[in-house]
Amino acid sequence: MSKICQITGKRAITGHNVSHSNRKTKRWFYPNLFTRKFYYEEEDRWITLKVSAAGIRLINKKGLHTVLKEAQEKGYVKTV
């Protein structure tokens, strides 16, 4: 599975390591991802999502059903 949050769509981005002498080498910045199980009350079952820390806070704030619906509209997650 790729390193993409299924709720927020965050993905790895590129940048540079910069040394003391100011030499630059390519590197990747990865999102803070977790594999978490959430209880989906509307369908009375558990679902497993790969979510970032920001995605977990979003689920706590808005609720799983609302966040999943928004993620489906944006194309981050397929039908659950």
- What pTM did the predictor assign? 0.85
Asked if the structure places residue 38 within a domain, the reply is yes
Asked if the structure places residue 53 within a domain, the reply is yes
| Total number of domains in the chain | 1
Residues 37 and 59 sit within 8 Å (Cβ to Cβ) = no
75 backbone φψ class: left, alpha, beta (φ>0; ψ -120 to 50): left
In this predicted model, what pLDDT tens digit does every residue of 33-72 receive, in sequence order?
A: 999 999 999 999 999 999 999 999 999 999 999 999 999 9
In this predicted model, what pLDDT tens digit does every residue of 9-25 receive, in sequence order?
A: 999 999 999 999 999 99
Asked if the structure places residue 60 within a domain, the reply is yes
Residues of the domain holding 46:
13-74
pLDDT at site 2: 85
Asked if the structure places residue 58 within a domain, the reply is yes
pLDDT at site 66: 96
- Say which CATH number the domain at 56 has: 2.30.170.40
Asked if the structure places residue 66 within a domain, the reply is yes
Asked if the structure places residue 50 within a domain, the reply is yes
